[in-house]
Structure 1
């Protein structure tokens, strides 16, 4: 990861997801961009192409020389492979191609985590009766193309956000039906993670699994189509949505126990807002707290839905402010 000075403005911030990529200009750290450039990630072969298009749209005569990107991928070295988007690129080569002074990459859920520290009351909705424990960690997670998460901690007035790979914990199983689905997915992919059920790619995998288990011929459907048919009353797609919701609740509960995130669980990602009233919060919360002796421990944790239109871009701006 490169380093950047937040005192040089403007800075282009970009959120590169498995499905959509967004960008905006930051003129003051801590404040969100006024205009957002958004395109499907698949419209571009890699990061350089998207950033060039964003700069052309947003930069005008003042093309920024500093860029910070949130990407849906672990960041361990110069080569980045976006887990669910099919992009592979070099950070240094991209910087040189675009003639940037600085190019910084952070995990996309680190950006979401920084946004959580700055959300207004109007940009979050609480869905249970829990209360935040003072000075306890917070957890941000949510389903999009994949399932991402980040841990947020506070020491005095200072926040820290840590990338995690919580979506890749093994799926918790509570019934024979779930065991059959998990076995099918495990045989197909070598591991049945929470993401393989509680995400866009997970909904597609569960749909395939249920058709096979119930003796139906294969029929590929996108996550968007599955959700649409579920809302319209298709019984198999409705079960996919139920399994998705239950798995998400179970994973959130496991991660809350593992991290002690009694300060609050913040759910983001693209799928829950897209589902709107079709997302079953009762099912989610039942599975979130279904941990035996620790039911009451989890029931006391507030669970919020993030309703900001571009939280990762806000989070990158807050991250810039924190670096100052």
Structure 2
């Protein structure tokens, strides 16, 4: 059932990623937008310009007066810095500039977490594990430009979604090769987090570190190129992808243990759908469950691949429904 009046203006929802920015109109909270406006984030100098372009492309009458955006950033102050997008802006100034009644920002993985509460087959594809525990938390996690995560918890007859910084836990190490890699990344960045390996920027950093370890000259390489060359059979790029997959599985397992997420692990982000069949779910799951005495505990947890074209936009719509 719709929670908006028939004559109420639609709400513009937007998902601002490090690579792409998406927006759509919600006319019925709880349902994903029918049409999605997508552009490279780098095409715009800031949030206001992107929202203006999205409104021009999507809206007729009545004009949206409320906007809610999912962004990859801590949200504690009026000034927001989106490092991966290269944007810095004031929430209040942007709201005034666009003449909006309300401009709300939400952590991008909180939006993904709200989507998790609504996904059904085939919007989620079970890759591993058993049956979900209905009364247990769920974990949303995924690599894009960075590595994001959120905790989704049942609360009476509704859900609560909490932002986490799970991507910044220390990377797991199971071999000398991984230890050498982690030490190189630690020396370069001051801390070798899971995100330093299991993300787009992580793939690039791992590529650089492995070339240095193996005595090869430096060679700048984007995450997209690394993935493409890995699929084509390049040995070094294949190892980068293997390190990426192992680090992601290890981090997901650690977070599942820390949160009791027996309701399921939902893996999203932009990289895994782009990899398609080249992503090794067996390697991921082997590291996910490689936790000694708790291997069986983790093996029982279902692991899902998020298979929705715009999960953050769906999540923002579900959030609007929950607030109404």
- TM-score normalized by structure 1? 0.97
Greater Cα shift, 270-279 or 121-130 = 121-130
> Which residue pairs with 2:239 in the alignment?
239
Taking the aligned partners of 1:177 and 1:93, their CA distance within structure 2 comes to: 49
Contact 2:172 2:247 in 1 (8 A): yes
Task: Tell me whether 1:196 sits opposite 2:199 in the alignment.
Answer: no
Taking the aligned partners of 1:225 and 1:320, their CA distance within structure 2 comes to: 38
Contact 1:14 1:70 in 2 (8 A): yes
Unaligned stretches of 5+ residues in structure 1:
none
> Which residue pairs with 1:267 in the alignment?
267
Contact 1:78 1:90 in 2 (8 A): yes
User: Could you list the per-position Cα deviations for residues 274-305 of structure 1 after superposition, in whole angstroms to 9, with x for gaps in the alignment?
Assistant: 00000000000000000011101100100000
> Which residue pairs with 2:143 in the alignment?
143
Q: 4+ residue runs of structure 1 moved beyond 2 angstroms?
A: 5-9, 60-63
Q: Aligned to 1:195, what secondary structure does the other structure show?
A: helix
> Which residue pairs with 2:319 in the alignment?
319
> Which residue pairs with 2:228 in the alignment?
228
What number of residue pairs does the alignment pair up? 320
> Which residue pairs with 2:205 in the alignment?
205
> Which residue pairs with 2:279 in the alignment?
279
Deviation (angstroms), 1:9: 2.9
CA RMSD of aligned residues (A): 1.2
Deviation (angstroms), 1:266: 0.2
> Which residue pairs with 1:89 in the alignment?
89
Taking the aligned partners of 1:60 and 1:185, their CA distance within structure 2 comes to: 50
> Which residue pairs with 1:41 in the alignment?
41
Contact 1:73 1:107 in 2 (8 A): yes
Contact 1:6 1:320 in 2 (8 A): no
Taking the aligned partners of 2:120 and 2:263, their CA distance within structure 1 comes to: 16
Q: Aligned to 2:142, what secondary structure does the other structure show?
A: strand
- TM-score normalized by structure 2? 0.97
Contact 1:6 1:321 in 2 (8 A): no
Contact 1:9 1:26 in 2 (8 A): no
Q: Aligned to 1:127, what secondary structure does the other structure show?
A: strand
Q: What pairs up with 1:140-219 in 2 under 5 angstroms?
A: 140-219=140-219
> Which residue pairs with 2:109 in the alignment?
109
Unaligned stretches of 5+ residues in structure 2:
none
Deviation (angstroms), 1:241: 0.2
Taking the aligned partners of 1:245 and 1:221, their CA distance within structure 2 comes to: 18
